Amino acid sequence: MSEWKAKRFWKETTHEATEGGWTIRLDGRPVKTPAKIALVVPTEELAREIAAEWNAQEEVIQPLTMPFTRCANAAIDRVATQRDAVVEIIAAYGETDLLCYRAEQPYELIERQAASWDPLLEWSKNELSAELTVHSGVMFGSQPEAALKTLFAHVDEMSPFQLSALHDLVAMSGSLVLGLAVAKGRVDSETAWDMSRIDEEWQIQQWGRDEEADALAAQKREEFLRAEKLFRMV
């Protein structure tokens, strides 16, 4: 039996101001999230992006081609309804932050990591008041409790839509510091993505490229850049 697919049923897609923000309408009817909550976003810029995604749908609705709609749904249905748990999940990355785990060899990789990551850890110390400890190797190393509490506070100050974007920045990079650096404008997402890929790119230099892995990395990079765009819009 063929899988049922939702088909386009509307002619006109619009966005307009509403109580609490902006909404998208299909032939005048407001769009709702999968949980049947009104899809209300905080800025007109984001509403315009979502409206464009709906307007681009042809005969069959393709959710995978609607990333900003999916992000808004997640912010409303999941993040806003369990905000404390999401903050905990994101902040926990500080305990095993990518930037704090360094290669033991070779020297060239050690130098590459230090040149890229040390300035961000210094930024975390000076600007976020969170000084993290660097460890050699992959074995778990603890971090100062005061630093983790401070990083938690930086995450906890964000709105559900900001948290949705920050989650992707942090989870895909493996670094809370890197995600916060993008969110706070210390680095742009393209630079941050490259910084998060130092170990992978080193391995590629040693063993060569793999087309399938490159395609997956390219897809993740696009999602990472989009997360910064979402953060800037909300």
Sequence-separated (6 or more) residues with CB below 8 Å from residue 72: 33, 39, 41, 46, 50, 161
Instruction: Provide the token pair at 63.
Output: 């959710």
Give the pLDDT of residue 2. 44
Per-residue pLDDT averaged across 162-183, rounded?
Answer: 98
Nearest of 73, 70, 130, 76 to residue 99 by alpha carbon: 130
Could you tell me the pTM of the whole model?
Answer: 0.93
Give the pLDDT of residue 208. 87
Q: Which residue has the higher pLDDT, 206 or 117?
A: 117
Residue 198 to residue 169: CA distance in whole angstroms: 16
- Confidence bin at 209 (pLDDT 50/70/90): confident
Segment 126-163, tens digit of pLDDT: 999 999 999 998 889 899 999 999 999 999 999 999 99
Place of tokens 């948290």: 163
> For 82-119, b where at least 16 C-beta lie within 10 A, e where not — what string?
eeeebbeebbebbebbbbbbbbeeeeebeebbeeebee
Instruction: Provide the token pair at 204.
Output: 């590629």
